[in-house]
C-alpha cells in the first residue's frame, strides 16, 4: 500500500478519517512512500503541530520505521510518471486537481502496483480509485 501525505497527516492529527486510516495501517500490508511524501508529511506536521522540523522528521521517520515502510527511490521513471499524472490529472487540467505531491504519490502507487491510501476527493477522480 502506498501512503499519500494526506493519510499520514490524518493519522497524526487524528482527523475525521483516523479510524479508516488506522485500520488500513493495521492490515500488515507492505507499505511504500516516496521521498516527496516524507518531505511533505514532515513539513505539514511541523506546521500543524507547531513543532520544529527536526522533531517532525523524527516522528515521521519513526512512524515509517514502525510500519516497515519502504521509501522508494526518486528516479527518472518516477519523474516521468509524475509528469504523466500532472498531464492527465493536474490542477487546471482535470477535476482531480492533483498537486505536486499528489502527482508523485500517484506515480509511486502506479510504479509499486500498490493501492493508494489517501484522504480527500482528489485521487477518487483518477484511475486509481
Where in the chain are the domains?
Answer: 2-121
- Please report which confidence band the pLDDT of residue 44 belongs to, taking 50, 70 and 90 as the band edges: very high
pLDDT in tens, 56-109: 999 999 999 999 999 999 999 999 999 999 999 999 899 899 999 999 999 999
Q: What is the pLDDT of residues 7-35, one digit of tens each?
A: 999 999 999 999 999 999 999 899 999 99
At 9 the pLDDT is 99
Judge contact between 112 and 32, C-beta under 8 A. yes
pLDDT reported for residue 129: 77
Q: Measured between alpha carbons, how far is 57 from 44 in angstroms, rounded to an integer?
A: 11
**51-65 pLDDT tens trace:** 999 999 999 999 999
CATH 3.40.630.30, domain 2-121, yes or no: no
What pairs with residue 26 in β-bridges?
none
Looking at residue 99, its pLDDT comes to 95
Amino acid at each position: 500500500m502506498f501512503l499519500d501525505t494526506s493519510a499520514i497527516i490524518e493519522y497524526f492529527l487524528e482527523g475525521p478519517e483516523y479510524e479508516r486510516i488506522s485500520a488500513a495501517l493495521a492490515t500488515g500490508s507492505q507499505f511504500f512512500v516516496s521521498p516527496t511524501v516524507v518531505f511533505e508529511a514532515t513539513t505539514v506536521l511541523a506546521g500543524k503541530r507547531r513543532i520544529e522540523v527536526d522533531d517532525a522528521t523524527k516522528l515521521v521517520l519513526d512512524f515509517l520505521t514502525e510500519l516497515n515502510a519502504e521509501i522508494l527511490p526518486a528516479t527518472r521513471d518516477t519523474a516521468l510518471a509524475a509528469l504523466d499524472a500532472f498531464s492527465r490529472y493536474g490542477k487546471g487540467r482535470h477535476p482531480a486537481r492533483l498537486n505536486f505531491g499528489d502527482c508523485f504519490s500517484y506515480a509511486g502507487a502506479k510504479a509499486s502496483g500498490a493501492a493508494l491510501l489517501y484522504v480527500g476527493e482528489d485521487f477518487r477522480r483518477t484511475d486509481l480509485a
